[in-house]
């Protein structure tokens, strides 16, 4: 499947830009990906992870063969970068972006770009609270809406080609007026982030005046803290770029909050109930819901890489034979590949999270070199005695991945070399496979005393995946 572009320049190879490169590669679109940015270290990491084929830190170089440019930087940098690169863009090139605001950017682009270079504003409604190319994954845009904002000056051919690219990446394309987009996103995206930041900071201020409050929080507050983990620079720029629309919806929200406060003060239970019921009946995006896909959840040590007691040094990472081929088969058959790994070595002081990040970078690099990709890596850093909700066989990591990556758990699988992996799968109704690599053979000996049994026992990950694919075909 060809996308009709030969060379794509991605400016800003972070979560969105990196996922864009990975998605083009995984879907075989035949596009050469060039990464542009300020940091050679970050761009080299993108190259190692397979998100780009080459990179440039000099924005005046390397444009001769580029026929599509996508700006994936924070919105505050897009207009200055457009001014910087405009003199070097070849005739016929298309420039697009992924910014969460459109008014200022589209107007500026149509003024800055020379004749014969075409701008098409775009905004994929996709992302996570994580940032950086290390958080990128190739299925980010699947089943996500991508809003494209043409104007009367938009070149029709360029518009169609950008639409086709996003459709090839699995997105649902929606055409929308620029101003309509900015008001809608102020309400459903920008305002929720402002509220999340405000709520978390309110609780922090209350903590300063008394006893700790956050340890008492539940899932509701954690949803707000997850949003508040988003990149502060990116969200600063979004708020300032869309300030008029955002201030309008903040005014609406303050009015609503004042009403609620009045009903609480006056003990008006009927009004509160009616308001709560009205909110309860709203479904997010009354359009077609995003289709969830099944996943193969993978233990890491002993399943993908050799068991090494505590793997604390990247130099000791050794991939089990045929594991890369197994992950390629998962990718090729439309399942997501997600790693879930207990890493108590961090709590025990054997390594820090920076060392773990280097190991995961190297793992992704090895896979990418052979055309295999992981949709996510989730780890628990806690000691077993901490009784956290993320350490396997507890479900925290897996449920977080399912939420982040839109995973259909009813059709998913758990593969690992430990009984804790099998218990996790069983507890959530997943089909579970024990592999006999790593600790698998010694764990198999313990199965006689276990009530919970794996659905299948495989010699290695490759055999496990072959069995899984026989179930889903």
Q: Closest Cα partner for 121 from 109, 137, 135? A: 109
- 108-122, 196-210, 387-401, range with the lowest pLDDT: 196-210
> At 284, is the pLDDT very low, low, confident or very high (cuts 50, 70, 90)?
low
Lowest pLDDT segment from 30-34, 42-46, 116-120, 449-453:
449-453
- How much of the chain, in percent, has pLDDT values that exceed 90? 71
3-state secondary structure of 168: helix
Distance CA(27)–CA(168), nearest Å, equals 8
Report residue 287's pLDDT band, with 50, 70 and 90 as the boundaries: very low
Domain ranges of the chain: 7-176, 180-280, 295-472
| CATH architecture entry for 295-472 | 3-Layer(aba) Sandwich (3.40)
pLDDT of 176 over the 50 cut: yes
The predicted pLDDT at position 286 comes to: 42
Q: Indicate the average pLDDT of the chain.
A: 91
Q: How confident is the model at residue 305 (pLDDT cuts 50, 70, 90)?
A: very high
The average pLDDT across 462-467 equals 97
Position 146 scores a pLDDT of 94
The tokens describing 14, both together, are 């972070």
pLDDT of 118 strictly over 90: yes
Which helix (H) or strand (E) segment holds residue 262: the answer is: helix 243-265
pLDDT at 415: 98
Residue 216, pLDDT score:
76
Q: Of 191, 113, 195, 190, which is closest to residue 158 (Cα–Cα)?
A: 113
* Per-residue pLDDT tens over the stretch 415-434: 999 999 999 999 999 999 99
State how far the Cα of 79 lies from the Cα of 252, in Å rounded to an integer: 30
Confidence band for 127, pLDDT divided at 50, 70 and 90: confident
CATH of domain 7-176: 3.40.50.720
Q: Provide the pLDDT confidence category of residue 43 given band limits of 50, 70 and 90.
A: very high
At 112 the three-state DSSP class reads helix
How many Å is the Cα radius of gyration of the chain?
A: 24
Shared fold status for 180-280 and 295-472: no
Interval 395-411: pLDDT, tens: 999 998 998 888 999 99
- Asked whether 263 and 276 are in contact (CB, 8 A), the reply is no
Which of 301, 375, 404, 417 is an active site residue?
301
**Residue from 97, 182, 237, 299 carrying the catalytic annotation:** 299
Topology annotation, domain 180-280: 6-phosphogluconate dehydrogenase C-terminal fold (1.10.3660)
Q: In the predicted model, what is the mean pLDDT of residues 128-148?
A: 89
338-369 confidence digits (pLDDT tens):
999 999 999 999 999 889 988 998 998 888 88
Q: What is the mean pLDDT of residues 84-89?
A: 97
Q: What is the value of pTM for the model shown?
A: 0.72
Residue 45 has pLDDT above 70, yes or no: yes
Report whether pLDDT(201) > 60.
yes
SS3 406: coil
DSSP 305: B
Q: For residue 331, what pLDDT is reported?
A: 86
CA angle, 103 then 104 then 107, to 5°: 85
CA 67/CA 280 separation, integer angstroms:
47
pLDDT tens for residues 54-84? Answer: 999 999 999 999 999 999 999 999 999 999 9
pLDDT score of 1: 53
Burial of 172 (0-12, 13-18, 19+ CB in 10 A): middle
Q: Is the pLDDT at 220 greater than 90, yes or no?
A: no
Q: 434-463 in b/e burial notation, b at 16+ Cβ within 10 A?
A: bbbbbbbeebbeeeeeeeeebbbbbebbbb
pLDDT at residue 337 tops 50: yes
Look at residue 283 and tell me whether its pLDDT is greater than 80.
Answer: no
Active site residue 301: yes
CA–CA distance, 265 with 262 (Å, rounded to integer): 5
Helices 178-185 and 103-112, packing angle to 10 deg: 150
288, pLDDT greater than 80? no
For 280, counting Cβ atoms within 10 Å of its Cβ (0-12 exposed, 13-18 middle, 19+ buried), the class is exposed
Pull the structure tokens for residue 294: 């099944």
CA distance 383 to 85: 50
Q: Is 392 helix (H, G, I), strand (E, B) or coil?
A: coil
pLDDT band of residue 3 (cuts 50, 70, 90) is low
């Amino acid at each position: 499947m060809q996308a009709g572009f030969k060379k794509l320049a991605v400016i800003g190879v972070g979560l969105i830009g990196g996922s864009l490169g990975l998605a083009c590669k995984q879907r075989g679109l035949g596009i050469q990906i060039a990464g542009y940015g300020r940091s050679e270290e970050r761009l080299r990491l993108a190259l190692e992870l397979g998100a780009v084929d080459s990179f440039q830190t000099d924005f005046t170089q390397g444009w001769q063969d580029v026929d599509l440019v996508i700006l994936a930087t924070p919105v505050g940098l897009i207009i200055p970068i457009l001014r910087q690169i405009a003199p070097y863009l070849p005739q016929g090139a298309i420039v697009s972006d992924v910014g969460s605001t459109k008014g200022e950017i589209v107007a500026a682009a149509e003024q800055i770009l020379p004749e014969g270079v075409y701008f098409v504003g775009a905004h994929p409604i996709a992302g996570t609270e994580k940032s950086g190319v290390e958080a990128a994954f190739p299925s980010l845009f699947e089943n996500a809406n991508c809003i494209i904002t043409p104007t009367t000056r938009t070149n029709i051919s360029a518009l169609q080609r950008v639409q086709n690219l996003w459709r090839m990446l699995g997105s649902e394309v929606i055409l929308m007026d620029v101003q309509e987009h900015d008001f809608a996103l102020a309400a459903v995206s920008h305002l929720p982030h402002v509220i999340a930041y405000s709520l978390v900071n309110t609780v922090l201020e209350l903590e300063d005046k008394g006893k700790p409050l956050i340890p008492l929080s539940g899932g509701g507050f954690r949803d707000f803290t997850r949003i508040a983990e988003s990149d502060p620079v990116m969200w600063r720029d979004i708020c300032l770029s869309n300030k008029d629309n955002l201030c309008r919806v903040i005014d609406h929200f303050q009015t609503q909050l004042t009403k609620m406060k009045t009903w609480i003060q006056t003990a008006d239970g009927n009004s509160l109930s009616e308001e709560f019921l009205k909110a309860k009946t709203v479904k997010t995006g009354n359009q077609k819901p995003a289709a969830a896909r099944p996943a193969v959840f993978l233990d890491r040590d002993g399943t993908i890489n050799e068991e090494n007691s505590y793997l604390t040094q990247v130099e000791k990472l050794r991939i089990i034979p045929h594991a890369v081929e197994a992950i390629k088969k998962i990718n090729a058959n439309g399942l997501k590949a997600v790693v879930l790994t207990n890493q108590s070595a961090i709590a025990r002081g054997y390594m820090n999270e920076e060392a773990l990040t280097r190991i995961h970078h190297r793992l992704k690099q090895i896979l990418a070199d052979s055309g295999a990709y992981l949709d996510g890596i989730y780890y628990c850093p806690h000691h077993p005695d901490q009784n956290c909700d993320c350490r396997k066989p507890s479900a925290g990591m897996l449920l977080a991945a399912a939420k982040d990556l839109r995973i259909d758990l009813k059709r998913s699988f758990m593969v690992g070399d430990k009984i804790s992996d099998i218990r996790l799968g069983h507890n959530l109704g997943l089909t579970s496979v024990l592999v006999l690599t790593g600790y698998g053979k010694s764990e198999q000996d313990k199965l006689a005393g276990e009530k919970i049994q794996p659905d299948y026992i495989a010699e290695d990950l490759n055999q496990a995946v072959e069995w899984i694919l026989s179930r889903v075909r």
